Every structure is written in structure tokens, then in C-alpha cells.
Amino acid sequence: MLDHLHIKKLAADAGFDLCGLAPCRHLACNEAWLRAWLDKGYQSSLGYMERNVDKRADPRRLVEGARTAVVCAVGYKSRIGEGYPPGHRTKVASYACAADYHATIKRMLGSMLEALQAACPRLGGRAFVDTAPLLEKQLAVEAGLGWIGRQSLLVTPRYGTYVLLGELLLTEEADAYDAPFEGSRCGRCRNCIESCPTGAIVAPKVIDTGRCISCHTIEKEPPGELGLDGWIFGCDRCQSCCPHNHKAPMHANPAFDPVFDPLAMDAAEWLAMDEAQFEARMGCTPLIRSGLARIRGNIAPEQYPSQDKAPE
């Protein structure tokens, strides 16, 4: 049986700010909600959301014999996440200004799993960071870390929405589990819904990815034109307006320090950058996923200096 206090200490030692444990079970209500969301076509170009729905709703289908979900979160708020000044037209989501969190969090989880398996050699398990079919935000609720806000993000009492998640699915039971987070602390606030430039939050907790700026700038681009409101990679608008984020502390883990400052960059600087410069400055960040050509293509034509289109 796993010692829940030992697991939480390992999480803190690895650099996580929050850690909770939940028993692995079928999240039937969430599966029904997801299927209804898919039936409405709100996944738009995100075809991968249509696959493995049964696995998404039941972590035991991802790891045979999984009994315990360890959900860890790390705060990543920086001054970039507090918003951009009016008129700034080359905005980047704040998480993307640091080294790619997938690799960082995978290493953090890996150190935890190694320590747990050293203490319990029969323990099986896997680490997950955002790329597997797993309802990680709901698992975080089950593990007591926070609630799902109206913008469909996990909101934590201390760190707001500016947290990144990682999970361990383990094949042993724990000696204690955290109580699921009950209710919501959004109150009557609708800042996120009202602040979305494209109306992508079509109802509380319901995102139409076909209208979502993050989807249009990062994922396989949905059909149709969409005004990007100055965002060239991702979008933080539904986060920077959240009262819970206004009082959240800046990140403490130096692994999430920004490696470049988009507040100090304008369209001319982005357009003048060549591939070698882009790789040198941003090659360790999530921006590499889109690449310089697509990022430059997200810059609105009216921002190009003294010309009607981006330079060849």
C-alpha cells in the first residue's frame, strides 16, 4: 500500500506546488458530457478528441491494474500572464514563453516514479503529461486540487488557472485519498465568457474549438477565418481576466522562468527573425511546435511594416 504522505513529499521535492491522490474509477458523467460535446461538433479540427473516449473516462484502461491516480500541479504564472498592454499585436500565451512543460514535467514525474518503485519494486505505473487520452482536469478535481471554471480550465484556490498538470497512474492502492473538490468558487463572475474575443466559450465550461484562438494558432487549423486579436501563439485572455489569477503568486519553480519576453517584441522583430535565430531563442519552447512560418503567418497583415504582406 502506498504512503500518501510519502508521495506528496516526493512531489514537493520534485518541484510541484500541489499534489493530490484519487482512486482510479470510471468517470461516467464526464464520459457522457464528452460524447455530447463531440456530437455538437465542438471538437472542430481536433479529430484526436474523437478517439479513445472510453479510455479518457477511465484511467484503468490506460494502465492495466491502475488503482491510484497521483495528480500534480505546478504554478507557472509570470508577469506575461498578467496581460498585454492595449495595442500589443504579437501576443504569446505565457506558458509558451518557458521551456516546453511536457519535457520538464515528465522529468519531475519520472523522478517520483523511480523513487516509488525503488521503495516498492512490484509497483507498476506510468507518467502522463497532457498528450494521452486522460481527463486530467477532472482527475485533478477528484484529487481535491480545484474546480473546473466557466472557461473549462482547472482553477485552484491558491494558483488560479496558471497551473500545469502531470499524472502518475499507479497499480497499488494508497493508504489515504484526498476528498474531491466540492462545488465552484466562480460565484457570479463571467469575466472569462465575456472577455473571450471570439465567443469561443459558448456556455459555461463549453468551448467551441472552431472559435478558439489557441486552436487556430497552434493546432490543426479549423476551417474559416477568425480574428486572432493579436495572438500569434495560444491565448491567455480567459485567464488574465480571472480574479483568482489576479491574486495568484508568481511561479516559484525556476524551470518555468520565461526564456524570452514577448512584451518586449513587436511585429517587425518577429518578421525579421530567421529560422536559425528562432531556433536559438525559442527552440526549447512550445513555439517550435508551430514553427516560425506559421507564427509569422498569424501576424495580421496591417502590422507588417510599410508593406501589405509578410516578406517572402
In angstroms, the Cα distances linking 106 to 92, 110, 131, 163, 185 are: 23, 6, 11, 15, 30
Among residues 17, 54, 100, 130, which one is catalytic? Answer: 130
Residue with cell 503567418: 297
The CB-side HSE value for 181 (13 A sphere, CA atoms) comes to 21
- Phi and psi torsions of 103, nearest 5°: -70, -40
130 is catalytic: yes
Strand order across the 163-170 sheet:
18-23, 68-75, 163-170, 125-128
Q: Where are the beta strands (DSSP E) in the chain?
A: 18-23, 68-75, 91-92, 125-128, 147-148, 154-155, 163-170, 201-203, 206-207, 231-233
Indicate which residues carry an active-site annotation.
Answer: 130
